[in-house]
């Protein structure tokens, strides 16, 4: 960015009535979370599961058909412990918070890491869900969404201690069926409160000065980039 462009951007931000932050996986990658990478961090996070199932990256780890559910939840717990429960705010997130300041804002993201919520930016629309939430695999639409942060931490601890059993697999409070992660896929339940809040925000600022920050979104992104344009 040239000096002149930076000055204009600063002016727009100063004059803005509100800020819409749009973000996709480029931001996660900048923060050190790369779902596509086959690097040494993959083994650091997933441990023996990498060799056991020949997992090339985190994305595959989430869609791989494990022969048993315990290994699936081991994988989830290890990932969420590392990138979720132990998440520390990055310089990027600090800068985003600084830019927003006291202005009205909304975050629209396809990132499933829940990092915006973890840093307190909770005016949030997670268009593909996040990996802290579980839905009933038998009644995804009817039974309530479960917040799994502490449950996943417990699974992680038991996994490390070698005491994890089938009884620890997260289940629906209402019917006892196993939970599925509430992320893009057939069981996905979009958060209607988030959808409504997002629509309200857009309506409120449609005729006002709204600055859109686009962070780490690819040029052909149809989910966020195309509609925001």
Q: Catalog residues that contact Zn ion under the rule CB under 5 A.
A: 136, 139, 143, 172, 174-175, 177
Contact status, residue 73 vs residue 170, Cβ threshold 8 Å: yes
Distance of CA 181 to the CA centre of its chain: 12
| Torsion sign, CA atoms 81, 28, 15, 195 | negative
> Look-up: residue for tokens 């595959």?
60
Cross-strand bridge partners of residue 135: 180
Minimum CB separation from Zn ion for residue 141, in Å?
A: 10
Minimum CB separation from Zn ion for residue 137, in Å?
A: 8
Minimum CB separation from Zn ion for residue 175, in Å?
A: 3
Nearer to Zn ion, 18 or 148 (CB): 148
Nearer to Zn ion, 177 or 213 (CB): 177
Nearer to Zn ion, 169 or 215 (CB): 169
Give the CA angle between residues 37, 98, 205 to the nearest 5°.
95
CB atoms within 10 A of CB 110: 19
Nearer to Zn ion, 21 or 172 (CB): 172
For the stretch 45-54, contacts whose Cβ atoms lie closer than 8 Å and that sit 24 or more positions apart, written own/partner, are 45/78, 45/79, 45/82, 45/83, 46/75, 46/78, 46/79, 47/78, 49/74, 49/75, 49/78
Minimum CB separation from Zn ion for residue 186, in Å?
A: 15
Minimum CB separation from Zn ion for residue 146, in Å?
A: 10
Cross-strand bridge partners of residue 75: none
Minimum CB separation from Zn ion for residue 183, in Å?
A: 18
Nearer to Zn ion, 81 or 133 (CB): 133
Nearer to Zn ion, 43 or 139 (CB): 139
- E-strand ranges in 110-199 read 124-126, 129-136, 146-147, 179-183
Secondary structure class of 119 (helix, strand, coil):
coil
> Look-up: residue for tokens 């209607």?
192
41: its two tokens: 């961090």
């Amino acid at each position: 960015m040239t000096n002149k462009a930076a000055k204009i951007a600063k002016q727009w931000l100063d004059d803005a009535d509100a800020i819409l932050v749009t973000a996709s996986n480029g931001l996660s990658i900048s923060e050190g979370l790369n779902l596509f990478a086959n690097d040494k961090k993959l083994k650091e996070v997933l441990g023996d599961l990498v060799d056991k199932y020949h997992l090339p990256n985190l994305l595959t780890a989430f869609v791989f058909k494990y022969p048993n559910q315990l290994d699936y939840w081991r994988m989830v717990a290890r990932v969420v412990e590392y990138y979720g429960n132990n998440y520390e705010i990055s310089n990027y997130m600090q800068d985003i918070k600084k830019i927003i300041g006291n202005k009205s804002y909304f975050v629209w993201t396809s990132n499933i890491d829940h990092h915006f919520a973890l840093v307190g930016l909770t005016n949030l629309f997670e268009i593909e869900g996040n990996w802290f939430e579980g839905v009933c695999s038998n009644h995804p639409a009817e039974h309530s969404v479960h917040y799994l942060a502490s449950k996943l931490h417990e699974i992680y601890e038991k996994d490390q201690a070698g005491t994890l059993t089938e009884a620890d697999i997260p289940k629906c409070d209402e019917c006892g069926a196993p939970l599925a992660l509430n992320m893009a896929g057939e069981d996905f339940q979009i958060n209607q409160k988030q959808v409504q809040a997002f629509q309200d925000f857009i309506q409120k600022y449609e005729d006002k000065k709204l600055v859109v920050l686009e962070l780490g979104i690819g040029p052909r992104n149809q989910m966020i980039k195309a509609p925001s344009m």
